[in-house]
Amino acid sequence: MSDVLLLSRFQFAITIFYHFLFVPLTIGLVILVACMETQYARTLNPTYRKMANFWGKLFTINFVMGIITGITMEFQFGTNWSEYSKYMGDIFGSPLAIEALVAFFLESTFMGIWLFGKDKISPKFRAFCMWMVALGTNISALWIITANGFMQNPVGYVVRNGRAELNDFWALVTNPYAWNMFFHTVIGCYIVGAFFVMAISAYHLLRKNEVEFFKKSFKFGLLLGLFAATITPFMGHQSGVSAAKYQPAKGAAMEAVWETGKGQGFSIVQIPDVKNEKNFEFLTIPKLGSFFYTNSFDGEIVGLKDIPKEDRPNVNLVYYSFRLMVALGMFFMALTWYGFYLNRKGKLENSKRYLKITIWSVLLPYIAINAGWIVAEVGRQPWTVYKLMRTAESVSPISVPQIWFSLISLILFYTLLLIADVYLMLKFAKKGPAALEEPATEGGAAHVS
């Protein structure tokens, strides 16, 4: 692997990692703020308005950081991956253009109305604005994942004059791989948002600060987290079936399957030996692997030995990232269900151990969702566009010093943004609703119907 290719891949990985620190929270937190606004519109209880304002402030900080990191990240398609842009521009440009024209303007417009006019509009319109922002963020995710879905499973295209051209837009938007990715990713984002609200609420509940406010906030996060964590295994199962069907090398790497065969087990504890193409197995559930990847306990999984070595991904990285994601997913489900039990028993705010575990768990959904993207992206290697264009063919003809300069500059820039984001988040999260400047009007601001 050339230095230019290696550094370009590393730079893109760094920038997408930073950007993806903000995107999941944006998608997950906006749903909760919209629900709080809806409750305020239904009940006119000022507590819900206060909740929407507090969590909306944190959402706004994260939303802005996500926009900044996203814009910077896209420049790399022209600077570091120009050959990819030439080959894929006709296809990749369509969903990204729709995302910018429809989704971004939708969420930005209504976010601006909510942010600067929420004290001048009616409760119902406040809720409507936030639901439009939520719709915009999900539409944005859909179109970006549609573009990525083509890279995973190319459909609706022809190759003319050495470049891919879109000839069936409907096939692009109905790509089954993309839809499985979308639902699995968005549900993971909901878990990020839910645990964020739960952790901050738990922090204040332990300190008996604004107990009623944070009890309600915790319940909002808990219900979303419970829903998302419970259905995540089903979404993950469909993603596994898609991987094995459309990218056999990825499916085999996720389970470190070397020999093609039916009725494959699912390894709980296993060490892949890539050099000798075998595994050291310690704990395996018989036939579960075949079911996970084929929907049949006797289904056949293609082994890595039947795939040329030059077409295989990094088996260890894919295998362990997948195991990490699954293990954390099980933990999220256990934690939310136990929280639901404590809430039903009226013991939630007094369970110090549970609240402390919740606080320390706030970063785990970020780890899980990034592990999932490692599986998705590293598992596709060595292809940028599966079976059409290799990553080595996608890189720009630039020099190593140029990449080092841009890499160091981006790392410094993103690190400063991250420090600013963490500082602002911690500042307002620790202050709680006391940091809000509430208008004096009883029950809320003057309403404009």
Within 8 A by CB and 6+ apart from 129, the residues are: 37, 110, 111, 113, 114, 118, 121
Question: Per residue of the chain (449 residues), what is the pLDDT tens digit?
Answer: 568 888 888 888 888 888 888 889 999 999 999 999 999 999 989 889 999 999 999 999 988 888 888 877 777 777 788 888 888 887 877 787 787 778 778 888 888 888 888 778 888 898 999 999 999 999 888 988 998 899 999 998 888 888 888 888 899 889 999 999 999 999 999 999 999 999 999 999 998 888 888 999 999 999 999 999 999 999 888 888 888 889 999 988 988 888 888 888 888 888 888 888 788 877 888 888 888 888 888 888 888 889 898 998 999 999 999 999 999 999 999 999 999 999 888 888 888 899 999 999 999 999 999 999 999 999 998 999 998 889 888 888 888 888 888 889 888 988 898 899 899 999 888 888 876 664 433 344 433 33
Residue 321 · residue 378 · CB < 8 Å: yes
**What would the two tokens of residue 49 be?**
């308005």
Q: At what angle do helices 315-344 and 248-255 cross, to 10 degrees?
A: 70
Q: Mapping DSSP to helix (H, G, I), strand (E, B) and coil, where does residue 209 land?
A: coil
Predicted local distance difference test score (pLDDT) of residue 165: 87
* Dist. CA 272–CA 53, nearest whole Å: 50
Q: Mapping DSSP to helix (H, G, I), strand (E, B) and coil, where does residue 387 land?
A: coil
* Dist. CA 17–CA 20, nearest whole Å: 5
Predicted local distance difference test score (pLDDT) of residue 168: 87
Within 8 A by CB and 6+ apart from 398, the residues are: 4, 79, 80
Name the residue among 164, 201, 134, 154 with its Cα closest to residue 361: 201
Q: Write out the DSSP string of 361-380.
A: TTTHHHHHHHHHHHHHHHTT
**What would the two tokens of residue 233 be?**
């295994």
Within 8 A by CB and 6+ apart from 16, the residues are: 73, 373
Predicted local distance difference test score (pLDDT) of residue 436: 64
* Dist. CA 411–CA 240, nearest whole Å: 33
Q: How many CA atoms lie within 13 A of 100 on its CB side?
A: 8
* Dist. CA 14–CA 353, nearest whole Å: 35
Predicted local distance difference test score (pLDDT) of residue 72: 76
For residue 398, the tally of other CB atoms under 10 A from its CB is 15
Predicted local distance difference test score (pLDDT) of residue 1: 53
CA angle 350, 354, 360 (to 5 degrees): 130
State the alpha helices, DSSP H only, in 155-247: 169-173, 176-206, 211-246
Predicted local distance difference test score (pLDDT) of residue 444: 40
**Distance from chain centroid for Cα 309:** 30
Residue 378 · residue 215 · CB < 8 Å: no
The single-letter code of the amino acid at 437 is: E
**Numbers of helices and strands, H then E, in the chain:** 15, 8
Predicted local distance difference test score (pLDDT) of residue 24: 92
Q: Is the peptide bond before 272 cis (omega within 30 degrees of 0)?
A: no
